[in-house]
Amino acid sequence: MAGCWPYLGRMPNAKAGSPHNPDGAERFNEERAAYTVARAQPNLEAGVAAIREVVATLKPIPGVYRMLDARGDVLYVGKARSLKARVVNYTQVNQLTNRLQRMVSQCRSMEIVTTNSEAEALLLEAQLIKRYRPPFNVLLRDDKSFPFILLRADHEFPRIHKHRGARRAKGNYYGPFASAGSVNTTLNALEKLFLLRSCTDSFFNNRNRPCLLYQIKRCSAPCVGRISGEDYAALVGQAKDFLAGKSSKVQADLEKQMAKAAEGLDFETAAILRDRLRAATFIQGSQAINAKSVGDADVFALRSNGGQMCVQAFFIRGGQNWGHRAFFPSHVKDVEEDQVLANVMLQFYEEVPPPPNVLVDRKLLETELIEAALSELAEKKVAISIPQRGDRRKLMAQAERNAVEALERRLAESGTKAKVQRELAEFLELGEPPKRIEVYDNSHIQGAKAVGAMVVASPEGFEKSQYRKFNIKSAQTNDDFAMMREVMERRFTRAMKDDPDREREGVWPDLVLVDGGKGQLSSVMEVLGELGIEDLPVIGIAKGPHHGREGREIFHFPDGREKMLPTNSPVLFYAQNLRDEVHRYVIGAHRAKRSKAITASPLDEIPGIGPARKRALLLHFGTASKVRAAALEDLQRAPGVSDAVARTIYDFYHAGG
């Protein structure tokens, strides 16, 4: 199993240190420590030798280095003002921590990238850490993209909507927001306040009457001319002012317009303006933090407890609180808190543009360097400071308090999860709580478009970056057992190729759960037996009697035994959650495959025929069957089809004819 010592000579006798023989515990620990050092020493020497070989070629210039293991996987990414001076430190083994010694012992080669400055190296380091997620770097686990509000500028009547991902569209981006929920709440209020359209351009261009949003006073219906371009532009200007922090000016203008409409006895317009004012008040009321004097800033506070760290971030834009999020970085053991905070910030700003002000709760070792790097990233001056008084200090105090509370909740949840993991291990008769659980299922319709799926769970939750889909190739009949055999054979053949000694973390599971009963479990065990894998815990989960109402699952063991859990058992709820997640994932993959098949065309199989030519052929001939039946001369006359392409299409359908 993953995490076990690989056999390299005689191991110390574990029984000597068992609870039944406490007198031998000290001797066992000494033997185990000596064994570990003796086993690691040759690897450490090989790592140092590999690093010395690289040091001989380095120069005292800034850059980024990557340490690679024997398989070429990235172990660590680091930056340096002087590459030669920094990397040579790894050859002084006695001055390294245990963590760094383990890293050096696994290192077999290095890759070097030189940069023009240390600030550039710092940015490249954060970028590479985010890309490779090395096991010896501090990692920002929450790597989901942050939502923004986008007010587009590529249309006569700009659209406002939620946006994630790369900021390629032309327009104004406002964010980040802490969650999709906070964006949606703000967008709903903004639509009521400024009546800007949120529909796509296609929807906009094909309207001949107002949609429902106009009827409920959340859009001004520019699509059908219910508002002039000039008046709509005025609404866009107000929206920009409001989102830039000039909310008081916008509210004052609305109040004047409402008073004027009331004086002119235009009560309908006055009522609309009143509702817009209420929307403005709602947005401001949802800002739980008074940050008017702060402008644009991010606030970071770090707290640690029980071997875990929490970084609490508040996002302030235009003096408004756009939410907060807690980050729980991984691989923080033996790393100083200020270094963890700096690493989290740099990885965070790989995704989000830095604001002019970044507030932190402690002094960072390389504050000036980080400021220079963030300024380069933002293309404007970015200042990092520790607030001492006023609204900024109040903001920091609230961030610190939230960090403490978030960490306490995390530790409490971890304790509960650890208890469930222990109970799961006891129920399934495992030696220890599993660190990596893999759950498998497949989905198909009478054997068609069959897809298998694997989801991965750790003590910290689902590891979605490690999910895998398997397009079933050989088992094309309506045979669940054959499909499961194919999935498991492909999965564990690859595992044996990548890590035959089971030394690498994240390659081998500690527990395999299969959605199904005795048949699926037998298929899995046959495959593992053929591959020579005999010590991998495998359990089948099948729905029990009356499962539609009671949710009573049956756990099938390889030796034929069956066990059940009480309906109120936390372990049962956890197992059901695992099974439901693999159901969700495999069904989604199956639907995507069916949707792709529905839109597929026989022309897709012809080499060299892209979307544009396919569209031109279908427009010219009408159907794919007519393209197939067309003579070579007809194909040559089709628009956008050269003689060579026409010959390719004709030969594809008439080869050997």
Q: What is the 3-state secondary structure (H, E, C) of 315-357?
A: EEECCEEEEEEEECCECCCCCCHHHHHHHHHHHHCCCCCCCCE
Q: Are residues 301 and 343 in the same domain?
A: yes
Mean per-residue pLDDT for 489-502? 87
Residues whose CB is less than 8 angstroms from the CB of residue 120 and which lie 6 or more positions away in sequence, other chains included: 62, 373, 376
Q: Give the whole-angstrom CA distance, residue 350 versus residue 340.
A: 16
Closest to 301 (Cα-Cα) out of 406, 422, 180: 406
Q: Give the whole-angstrom CA distance, residue 328 versus residue 159.
A: 36
State whether the Cα torsion 237-243-245-247 is positive or negative. Answer: positive
- In the prediction, which pLDDT does 652 show? 77
Q: Are residues 157 and 128 in the same domain?
A: no
Q: 353 is in which domain, residue-wise?
A: 297-410
- Please check whether residue 19 lies inside any domain of the structure: no
**Both structure tokens of 619:** 């427009």
Beta strands in 575-634 (DSSP E): none
- In the prediction, which pLDDT does 616 show? 76
Least confident segment among 84-88, 104-108, 279-283, 620-624: 279-283
Kindly report, residue by residue over 183-219, the tens digit of the pLDDT: 887 888 788 778 899 998 888 988 889 999 888 888 9
pLDDT of residue 656 exceeding 70 = no
pLDDT of residue 624 exceeding 90 = no
Domain stop point among 556, 575, 597: 597
Q: Are residues 560 and 625 in the same domain?
A: no
Q: Are residues 451 and 588 in the same domain?
A: yes
Closest to 148 (Cα-Cα) out of 131, 166, 130: 166
Q: Are residues 583 and 457 in the same domain?
A: yes
Residues whose CB is less than 8 angstroms from the CB of residue 232 and which lie 6 or more positions away in sequence, other chains included: 157, 196, 220, 222
Kindly report, residue by residue over 423-472, the tens digit of the pLDDT: 999 999 988 999 999 999 887 655 456 888 899 998 888 888 889 888 88
- Please check whether residue 118 lies inside any domain of the structure: yes
- Please check whether residue 2 lies inside any domain of the structure: no
In contact, 578 and 424? CB cutoff 8 Å? no
- Please check whether residue 290 lies inside any domain of the structure: no
- In the prediction, which pLDDT does 604 show? 61
Kindly report, residue by residue over 612-621, the tens digit of the pLDDT: 777 777 777 7
Burial class (CB within 10 angstroms; exposed 0-12, middle 13-18, buried 19+) of 273: buried
What type of residue sits at position 306? G
Residue-wise burial string across 329-349, b where 16 or more C-beta atoms lie within 10 A, e elsewhere: bebbeebeebebbbbbbbbbb
Q: Give the whole-angstrom CA distance, residue 135 versus residue 103.
A: 9
- In the prediction, which pLDDT does 396 show? 92
Q: Are residues 319 and 340 in the same domain?
A: yes
- Please check whether residue 424 lies inside any domain of the structure: no
- In the prediction, which pLDDT does 445 show? 59
Backbone angles phi, psi at 360, to 5 degrees: -125, 160
- In the prediction, which pLDDT does 455 show? 93
Kindly report, residue by residue over 319-360, the tens digit of the pLDDT: 777 888 899 998 888 889 999 999 999 999 988 899 999 999
- In the prediction, which pLDDT does 36 show? 41
- Please check whether residue 523 lies inside any domain of the structure: yes
What type of residue sits at position 223? C
pLDDT band at 242 (very low <50, low <70, confident <90, very high): confident
How many other C-beta atoms lie within 10 A of the C-beta of residue 623?
12
When computed from its CA atoms, the radius of gyration of the chain, rounded to whole angstroms, is 31
pLDDT band at 595 (very low <50, low <70, confident <90, very high): low
> Which residue in this structure is represented by tokens 């000494």?
30
How many other C-beta atoms lie within 10 A of the C-beta of residue 39?
15
How many other C-beta atoms lie within 10 A of the C-beta of residue 549?
7
Q: Are residues 579 and 619 in the same domain?
A: no
Q: Are residues 456 and 366 in the same domain?
A: no
Kindly report, residue by residue over 249-259, the tens digit of the pLDDT: 666 776 777 77
Q: Are residues 128 and 198 in the same domain?
A: no
- In the prediction, which pLDDT does 446 show? 54
Backbone angles phi, psi at 359, to 5 degrees: -100, 130
Residue 500 C-alpha from the chain's centroid:
29
In contact, 396 and 299? CB cutoff 8 Å? yes
Least confident segment among 518-527, 598-607, 615-624: 598-607
- In the prediction, which pLDDT does 546 show? 56
Backbone angles phi, psi at 512, to 5 degrees: -115, 125
In contact, 149 and 130? CB cutoff 8 Å? no
Q: Are residues 590 and 612 in the same domain?
A: no
Q: Are residues 72 and 199 in the same domain?
A: no
- Please check whether residue 23 lies inside any domain of the structure: no
Helix (H, G, I), strand (E, B) or coil at 160: strand
Strand 468-471 vs strand 437-445: parallel, antiparallel, or unpaired? unpaired
- In the prediction, which pLDDT does 623 show? 77
| CATH assignment of the domain containing 306 | 3.30.420.340
| CATH assignment of the domain containing 119 | 3.40.1440.10
133: region left, alpha or beta (phi > 0 left; psi from -120 to 50 alpha):
left
pLDDT band at 52 (very low <50, low <70, confident <90, very high): very high
- In the prediction, which pLDDT does 19 show? 38
Helix or strand (DSSP H, E) at 526: helix 518-530
What type of residue sits at position 213? L
Domain stop point among 108, 132, 156: 132
Q: What is the 3-state secondary structure (H, E, C) of 17-39?
A: HCCCCHHHHHHHHHHHHHHHHHH
Q: Are residues 591 and 610 in the same domain?
A: no
Helices 267-285 and 180-194 cross at an angle (nearest 10°) of 160
Domain stop point among 74, 107, 132: 132
Q: Give the whole-angstrom CA distance, residue 232 versus residue 240.
A: 13
- In the prediction, which pLDDT does 444 show? 64
196: region left, alpha or beta (phi > 0 left; psi from -120 to 50 alpha):
beta
- Please check whether residue 430 lies inside any domain of the structure: no
Mean per-residue pLDDT for 369-379? 92
Higher pLDDT, 315 or 319: 315
In contact, 309 and 303? CB cutoff 8 Å? yes
| CATH assignment of the domain containing 650 | 1.10.150.20
Helices 390-427 and 570-599 cross at an angle (nearest 10°) of 100
Residue 474 C-alpha from the chain's centroid:
32
Strand 383-385 vs strand 357-360: parallel, antiparallel, or unpaired? parallel
Q: What's the total number of domains in the chain?
A: 5
